[in-house]
């Protein structure tokens, strides 16, 4: 009801009379020669409006309302400028002079602008950090229905996976082999990672990409982050800048596996300093894997008030997902179509006759679960309030408050469950003792996260200083309830059989300094102090007492240099990262408990950019102490189990090339070649032959699980037509991922095979016709029909002999998504 009222308000505002509007125009010249500069990029802060100077160095912005506007000006070979222009009831002519000595170094195409102030949690063109900026135009090329990881899959060192096999539903990403629990994700600087698991479940915020204006991916420790410290990479999402002009947008997608996406967005434009925007989205898919349906809903709203140097933005967004569970994976015997091995698997795992028939008859799309409501049902709402104040022209204060409310459950059918596992006494019926029953249970999670962030930025000539910090509090209730039992034995619907409560307080404060030591040489220093207090108490899902009471403090220093040589730059950085274990590490981890992990990260990079060519190379060495590595096993709700290893490392080189050989043709490629090793690894197996024995096997110099030594991606795009009224473009993208081991023993019998996948894209745009813009976008995934699996897990045990079970997540063959977007 509240959402519908908000949309109605937006539509009413769209019908209001247009306020008085004026023109800002001028000429951009070289400060020394006074010659006009062609191709200067000029953007208006807080909006998506931008332009480029013509052959006379002139620029024009039409339809500008009264008030103060900040022009952000940048050009290759010139320092960036931020200019305040005030419109007071008449057209304004504002000429700009640019000084030389700075060359922005960003991937093709050029960013419209970089912020005049350095944000401590983001990297700019001179920060000695390996990073990639993904623009809104890049997101739109692939934003047909798939989750965020699939829109970013062609960026360097990234590997993505989908439980349902087609990029909708539960998806995940890894950067440099680091899993999602060590990748720091923020939205407008606010942490998105779950406080306990430290994972990001993109399915909880479906279609977030439609409200993203830009995304920055940092690799390694990176800059200071709010929330859990980055331990392999960071994904920093910035949501939409509000548009000055009213707009409406309707987007619809249909594709393979009965995939649908429907989205509508409206915005008021700027009215006396105010503007509002809203979006509603629905995504549904049957999935590639049997019964792996996804039904997703999301919303996004924001209101903005801008009064020159002071601005406030309120954002409310969230979503609800109901997905059929597909985290069990497909047994190796099923993928190999080995009937004898499938029967052995069924016997070893106690499969019923019905479950065995399902296994034998399903093929690659096998799903272990058959119960109709074996679902994950979860909703999450986010509230953010941001305020920015230019105290002086070179001093800016940012503050933000946030609140996240999450709640949901897993529903599971379980056959032959023992009463004692649920705290229930045996049942006697007609003199017969009954000790087990079929049942349906729900495992609930209800959580609250709230807190605030702040930063103060002072900028003067050679020096830029940022101080800031954040504080977050998390409260989580984990409990299970029984919704149906064949033999109820005195229980009622909804009775709880376990409950534990968690609280986590996360505080950090940081200071960052950027200083130009000499011409073209800039130093960077960043120090963060972070404390974590985490407690858990109660009964876990196995009805065992759990008790976690951790109080940790970390110091994370970073530093580096950036040296510019004409169109090139060289940078070097050193950073220390520390990170606390996750909830699963404490509760489900291997014997002996989990310890915090630390890493030293060294990065050495080179970049060169001309108008049509970008070259980049980055050497990295991530040296770990007590790294928590995946064992290859999962717990009973599909989360991976990890253990500490004393010493390990990830070392490699990342290469990027972007080339524009002609005006309409763009080619790009990136590749990562790495070594990912554990010095000494102890494998623990359980021997059930004559009781319960523990077997430990030592391995030396093994590969870290899920860490391919080679990752490569390529993109080719060509504009067939580019006129005032029409655009036609085609694109081809490919991704290669080398073999990955499922555990840390470097066993060739426990691995994911290498795969090479290619996608094709066709885009047709009609402009200034019946609509402001009409876009048709056809995306064909896996054009060459590669047969592959992108993820998996393994476990072994001994009963007379060692038995190993490998499970995989098969991905869809050739499939398509067709999108039509109408902009008004």
Q: What is the pLDDT of residues 150-190, one digit of tens each?
A: 999 999 999 999 999 999 999 999 999 999 888 999 999 99
- The whole-number average pLDDT for the span 191-198 is 94
pLDDT digits (tens, 9 = 90+) for 368-398: 999 999 999 999 999 999 999 888 878 889 9
What average pLDDT does range 93-104 have in this prediction?
68
pLDDT at position 235 is 94
What gap in Å lies between CA 243 and CA 50, rounded to an integer?
A: 11
What does DSSP say about strands 274-285 and 50-52: parallel, antiparallel, or unpaired?
Answer: unpaired
**Residue that has been written with the tokens 């490699």 in this structure:** 652
C-alpha span between 173 and 554 (Å, rounded) = 26
Rounded Cα–Cα distance for residues 273 and 255 (Å): 41
Q: Reply yes or no on whether the pLDDT at 109 is more than 60.
A: no
Q: How confident is the model at residue 107 (pLDDT cuts 50, 70, 90)?
A: very low
pLDDT attached to residue 103: 33
Nearest CA to 633 out of 793, 749, 792, 747 is that of 793
Which two structure tokens, joined as six digits, stand for 810? Answer: 């098969």
260-271 pLDDT, tens digit per residue, is: 999 999 999 888
Q: 247-255 and 171-175 as β-strands: parallel, antiparallel, unpaired?
A: unpaired
Specify the pLDDT at position 50.
79
**How does the average pLDDT of the chain come out, rounded?**
89
The packing angle between helices 353-361 and 339-348, to 10°, is 150
Q: Is the pLDDT of residue 754 over 60?
A: yes
Contact 650, 157 (CB under 8 A): no
Is residue 203 very low, low, confident or very high in pLDDT (cuts 50, 70, 90)? very high
Q: Are 113 and 124 in contact (CB under 8 A)?
A: no
Confidence of residue 591 (pLDDT cuts 50, 70, 90): low
- Distance CA(401)–CA(385), nearest Å, equals 5
Measured CA to CA, the distance from residue 220 to residue 739 in angstroms comes to 22
Structure tokens that stand for 501 in this block = 């409560």
pLDDT recorded at residue 584:
87
Q: Does residue 109 have a cis peptide bond before it, meaning omega lies within 30 degrees of 0?
A: yes
What pLDDT, in 10s, does the model give residues 25-71? Answer: 888 988 777 778 887 889 888 776 778 887 678 888 877 887 788 89
Q: What is the pLDDT of residue 588?
A: 76
- DSSP 8-state code for residue 711: E
DSSP 107: P
Instruction: Please choose, from the candidates 253, 316, 247, 303, the residue with its C-alpha nearest in 3D space to the C-alpha of residue 282.
Output: 253
Q: ∠ at Cα 293 (292, 296), nearest 5°?
A: 135
Closest alpha carbon to 424 in 493, 491, 485? 491
Q: Is the model's pLDDT at 570 over the cut of 80?
A: yes
Average pLDDT over residues 221-227: 82
Kind of pairing between the strands at 92-93 and 21-30: parallel
Whether pLDDT at 89 is above 60: yes
Query: What is the 8-class DSSP label of residue 341?
Result: H
Under 8 Å between Cβ of 219 and 178: no
Distance CA 634, CA 645 (A): 18
pLDDT of 1 strictly over 60: no
Q: Which of 353, 236, 276, 308 is nearest to 85 (CA)?
A: 308
Q: Of the ranges 27-36, 202-211, 518-527, which one carries the lowest mean pLDDT score?
A: 27-36
SS3 track for 280-306: EEEEEECCCCCCCCEEEEEEEEEEEEE
Task: Count CB atoms within 10 A of the CB of residue 36.
Answer: 16
Q: Which residue has the higher pLDDT, 591 or 627?
A: 627
Statement: residue 409 has pLDDT above 90: yes
Q: What is the pLDDT of residue 17?
A: 32
What percent of the chain stands above pLDDT 90? 67
Q: What is the pLDDT of residue 317?
A: 97
Per the model's pLDDT, the better-predicted residue between 724 and 669 turns out to be 669
Q: Are 578 and 229 in contact (CB under 8 A)?
A: yes
Cα–Cα distance for residue pair 28/38, rounded to 1 Å: 8
Structure-block tokens of residue 255: 């594709």
**Rounded-to-integer distance, Cα 777 and Cα 764, Å:** 7
Q: What pTM did the predictor assign? A: 0.84
Mean pLDDT is lowest, of 158-162, 758-762, 777-781, 800-804, for 800-804
Instruction: Give the three-state DSSP class for 223.
Output: coil
Q: Are 781 and 760 in contact (CB under 8 A)?
A: no
C-alpha distances (whole Å) from 502 to each of 136, 199, 477, 543, 584 are: 38, 16, 6, 16, 13
Task: Find the helix or strand (DSSP H, E) in which 331 lies.
Answer: strand 330-331
Residue 478 sits at the vertex; the CA angle it makes with 474 and 481, to the nearest 5 degrees, is 155
In this prediction, residues 97-110 reach a mean pLDDT of 46
Supply the pLDDT for residue 272. 82
Q: How far apart are the first and last CA of the chain?
A: 25
Q: How far is residue 193's CA from residue 186's CA, in Å, rounded to a whole number? A: 8
**Torsion of Cα atoms, 354 then 359 then 360 then 363, to 10°:** 140
Residues 276 and 245: beta-carbon distance below 8 Å: no
- Burial class of 505 by CB neighbour count within 10 A (0 to 12, 13 to 18, 19+): middle
Q: Are 562 and 522 in contact (CB under 8 A)?
A: yes
What does the alpha-carbon distance between residue 269 and residue 271 come to, in Å, rounded to a whole number? 6
Sheet holding 212-219, edge to edge: 131-135, 212-219, 233-239, 183-187, 190-191
* Pairing between β-strand 247-255 and β-strand 259-267 as defined by DSSP bridges: antiparallel
Radius of gyration of the chain (CA): 28
- Give the Cα separation of 577 and 600 in Å (integer): 6
Query: Bridge partners of 62?
Result: none
Cα–Cα distance measured from residue 820 to residue 815, given in angstroms and rounded to the nearest whole number: 17
SS3 content of the chain, % helix, strand, coil (to 5): 10, 60, 30
Task: Output the CA–CA distances (angstroms, integers) from residue 677 to 239, 587, 646, 707, in the order listed.
Answer: 38, 26, 12, 9
Which residues are registered as beta bridge partners of 320? 297, 379
Q: What are the tens digits of pLDDT across the range 418-450?
A: 999 999 999 988 889 999 999 999 999 999 999
Burial label for 486, CB within 10 Å (0-12, 13-18, 19+), is middle
- How far apart CA 531 and CA 144 sit, in angstroms, is 40
CB neighbourhood size of 799 (10 A): 12
User: Per-residue pLDDT tens for 299-333?
Assistant: 999 999 877 678 899 999 999 999 999 999 999 99
601: left (phi over 0), alpha (psi -120 to 50) or beta: beta
> Comparing 698 with 8, which gets the higher pLDDT?
698
Residue 31: the pLDDT is: 77
Q: Dihedral sign, CA of 350, 356, 360, 362?
A: negative
How many CB atoms are closer than 10 A to CB 708?
Answer: 25
Under 8 Å between Cβ of 683 and 702: no
Please name the helix (run of DSSP H) or strand (run of DSSP E) that holds residue 141, with its range, or none: helix 136-142
Q: How confident is the model at residue 639 (pLDDT cuts 50, 70, 90)?
A: low
Residue 250 has pLDDT above 90, yes or no: yes
């Amino acid at each position: 009801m509240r959402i519908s009222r908000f949309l109605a308000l937006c539509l009413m505002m769209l019908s209001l009379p247009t306020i008085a509007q004026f023109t800002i125009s001028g000429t951009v010249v070289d400060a020394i020669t006074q010659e006009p500069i062609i191709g200067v990029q000029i953007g208006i802060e807080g909006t998506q409006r931008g332009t480029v100077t013509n052959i006379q160095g002139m620029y024009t912005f039409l339809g500008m309302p009264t008030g103060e506007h900040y022009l952000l000006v940048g050009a290759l070979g010139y320092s960036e400028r931020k200019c305040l222009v005030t419109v007071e009831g008449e057209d304004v002519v504002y000429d700009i002079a640019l000084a030389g000595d700075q060359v922005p170094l960003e991937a093709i195409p050029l960013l419209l602008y970089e912020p005049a102030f350095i944000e401590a949690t983001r990297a700019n063109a001179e920060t000695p950090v390996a990073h990639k900026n993904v623009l809104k135009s890049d997101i739109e090329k692939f934003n047909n229905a798939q989750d965020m990881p699939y829109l970013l899959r062609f960026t360097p060192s990234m590997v993505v996976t989908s439980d349902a096999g087609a990029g909708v539903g539960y998806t995940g990403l890894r950067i440099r082999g680091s899993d999602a629990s060590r990748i720091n994700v923020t939205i407008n600087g606010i942490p998105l990672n779950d406080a306990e698991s430290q994972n990001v479940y993109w399915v909880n915020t479906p279609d977030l990409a439609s409200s993203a204006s830009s995304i920055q991916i940092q690799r390694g420790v990176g800059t200071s982050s709010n929330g859990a410290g980055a331990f392999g990479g960071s994904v920093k999402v910035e949501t939409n800048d509000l548009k000055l002009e009213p707009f409406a947008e309707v987007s619809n997608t249909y594709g393979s596996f009965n995939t649908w996406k429907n989205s509508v967005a409206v915005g008021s434009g700027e009215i006396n300093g105010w503007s509002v925007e809203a979006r509603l989205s629905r995504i549904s898919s049957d999935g590639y894997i049997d019964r792996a349906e996804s039904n997703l809903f999301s919303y996004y709203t924001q209101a903005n008030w801008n009064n020159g140097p002071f601005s406030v933005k309120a954002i409310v967004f969230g979503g609800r997902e109901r997905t059929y569970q597909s985290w069990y994976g497909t047994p190796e015997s099923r993928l190999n179509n080995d009937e004898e091995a499938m029967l052995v698997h069924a016997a070893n795992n106690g499969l019923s006759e019905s479950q065995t028939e399902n296994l034998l008859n399903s093929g690659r799309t096998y799903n272990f679960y058959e119960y109709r409501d074996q679902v994950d049902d979860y909703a999450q709402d986010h509230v953010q309030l941001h305020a920015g104040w230019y105290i002086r022209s070179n001093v800016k204060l940012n503050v933000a408050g946030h609140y996240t409310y999450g709640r949901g459950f897993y529903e599971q059918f379980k056959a032959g469950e023992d009463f004692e596992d649920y705290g229930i006494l045996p049942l006697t019926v007609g003199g017969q003792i009954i000790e087990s029953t079929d049942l349906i249970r729900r495992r609930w999670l209800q959580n609250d996260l709230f807190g605030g962030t702040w930063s103060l930025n002072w900028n003067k000539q050679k020096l830029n200083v940022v101080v800031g910090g954040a504080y977050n509090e998390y409260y989580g209730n984990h409990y299970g309830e029984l919704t149906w039992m064949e033999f109820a034995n005195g229980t009622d619907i909804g009775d709880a059989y376990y409950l534990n409560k968690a609280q986590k307080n996360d505080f950090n404060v940081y200071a960052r300094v950027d200083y130009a030591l000499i011409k073209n040489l800039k130093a960077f220093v960043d120090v963060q102090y972070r404390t974590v207090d985490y407690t858990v108490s109660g009964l876990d899902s196995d009805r065992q007492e759990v008790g976690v009471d951790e109080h940790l403090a970390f110091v994370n220093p970073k530093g580096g240099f950036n040296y510019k040589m004409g169109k090139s730059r060289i940078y070097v950085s050193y950073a220390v990262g520390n990170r606390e274990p996750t909830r699963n590490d404490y509760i489900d981890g291997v014997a002996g408990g989990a310890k915090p992990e630390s890493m030293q990260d060294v990065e050495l990079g080179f970049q060169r950019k001309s108008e049509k060519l970008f070259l980049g190379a980055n050497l990295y060495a991530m040296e770990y102490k007590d790294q928590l590595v995946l064992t290859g096993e999962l717990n009973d709700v599909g989360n991976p189990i990890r253990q500490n290893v004393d010493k390990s490392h990830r070392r490699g080189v990342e290469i990027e090339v972007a080339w524009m050989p002609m005006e309409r043709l763009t080619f790009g490629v990136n590749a990562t070649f790495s070594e990912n090793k554990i010095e000494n690894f102890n494998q623990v197996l359980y021997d059930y032959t004559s009781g319960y024995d523990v077997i430990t096997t030592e391995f030396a110099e093994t590969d870290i699980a899920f860490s391919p030594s080679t990752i490569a991606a390529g993109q080719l795009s060509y504009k067939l037509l580019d006129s005032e009224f029409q655009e036609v473009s085609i694109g081809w993208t490919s991704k290669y991922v080398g073999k990955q081991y499922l555990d840390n023993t470097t066993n060739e019998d426990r691995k994911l095979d290498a795969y090479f996948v290619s996608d094709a894209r066709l885009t047709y745009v009609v402009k200034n016709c019946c609509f402001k813009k009409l876009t048709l976008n056809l995306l064909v995934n896996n054009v060459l029909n590669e047969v592959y699996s992108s993820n998996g897990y393994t476990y072994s045990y001994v009963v007379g002999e060692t038995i190993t079970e490998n499970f995989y997540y098969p991905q869809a063959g050739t499939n398509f998504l067709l999108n039509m977007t109408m902009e008004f």
